[in-house]
Structure 1
Amino acid sequence: MKKAVVVILLSVFLPSCVTPQSQGPFIVGKPWGGPAPYGERVHPGIDYDIPTGAPVVAVSNGKVVHIGDLGADGLEIVVMHGPHFKSLYAHMSTVAVATGQMVKRGQFLGLSGESNSYGKPKYAHLHFGICKNGPGLDCHNVSASFDPNLFWLGGQPRCFEPRTDYSIYPQNAITLPLACGEHGKALRPGAS
């Protein structure tokens, strides 16, 4: 019992002491499992510190099952990837897909936005989460989420590359939710 309490305390307090880390070309402002001022008080996803208007892409093939308006905290999209998990993209400024639409890995979903999270007005970031499927499961709670770091394609966060054949990888092997490199440049507003 004492070990369980120590592990829980470390998992809550240590992530908040860590300096921001990077995943691919992006900075993680808030990791999965860190403290959060909502839900079950544990952060159920990864916050990428990015400017408003960064292109957000699907991490794997799936179906858009929810688009929601979070008011001052922007828009959110949930994509179901088969029977085992969903991906959540929150604090978006615009959405380029519709509920019921099938999407492919790397497909443009919309643009990142901002929220008033953590007492930071206009905190520009993308909240990304991997959620369990099932009735009554809320992606905003850590008990209904998985650590996204367990799902990276090849064990490392990687940018989607349009020329790569992803058919050899399982559907639960994900790429980064943000468009990078030339693919990212092509998806930016005003790109020709």
Structure 2
Amino acid sequence: MTHRDSPPRRPQLPTGWRRLAMRLPILLFRAGLGPLFGKRLLLLHHTGRVSGLDRRVVLEVVSHDPVGTSWTVASGFGQRADWYQNLREQPKTLIQVKNRPFAVTARFLPPDEGADIMAGYAQRRPRTARRLCAFMGLPVDGGEVSYREAGRAIPFVRLDAAVGHRQLGRSHA
């Protein structure tokens, strides 16, 4: 079986101080310090599929379309990530970019579109792309072909702003 045929391994969930460090950006967003992250990170609200409780996670923006107002994020923990599964159950949700809230609908992208996204991301952020692939157990040699293969294995989600409600609390004429 080649690396193309084998599914990526599921990264271990962080525990202890690493979990606290990964949750720190959520606290910063909640404290009104979202602008510290610029447009690179967003805060995603999602509803727990079992508990029904409001959950939050900070995700890196892989690509952003300012014209259509959409943000694309990747699930570094694969399709089994809680936020990913929760969006599958309830795709309409809220995000916060800097300190601006947006109503969005999640759209789960097909593998070929993920390949294009990952190839572009690897060009813009080669070190981060290598780390994401290593984290997920996906072999890459730094070439476009290997990033395209990795992009087919990584679940990507596009968060499209609601029509007519691009930013909550503001009207657009």
Q: TM-score, normalised by structure 2?
A: 0.29
Structure holding more helix per residue? 2
Q: Compare relative contact order (CA 8 Å, sep 6+) and give the higher one, 1 or 2.
A: 2
More strand per residue: 1 or 2? 1
TM-score by length of 1: 0.27
